[in-house]
Amino acid sequence: VVVYFSATWSEPCRLISPVFHDLAKKLTNVIFLEVDVDEIKLLALKFNVSIMPTFVFVKERVLVDQVSRASKDELENKIEKH
């Protein structure tokens, strides 16, 4: 599972969002979720998200990785890794 923590006011989120959504369409074996940190603050707090965008990687209910401000290549590499 890839959880994308975003915010409508964040320019880096606006830039990476199309990449995230394209990967979600392309990689149908991976679950992609997007969380607006202004709408679901408690979830962002639970994962200690303070920088947008932040991507959290969860496997079998366990946090396996987390990256903030990822490039397209870095995001793709993390998804392949997990």
Cα–Cα distances (Å) from 28 to 10, 13, 20, 72, in that order, read 27, 22, 13, 18
Q: How does pLDDT run across 20-74, given as a tens digit for each residue?
A: 999 999 999 999 999 999 999 999 999 999 999 999 999 999 999 999 988 899 9
Q: Is the pLDDT of residue 10 over 90?
A: yes
Give domain limits for the chain.
Answer: 2-81
Residue with tokens 């975003």: 6
Number of helices (H) and strands (E), helices first, in the chain?
3, 4
> In this structure, which CATH number among 3.40.30.10, 3.40.50.620, 1.10.260.40, 3.40.50.300 belongs to the domain 2-81?
3.40.30.10
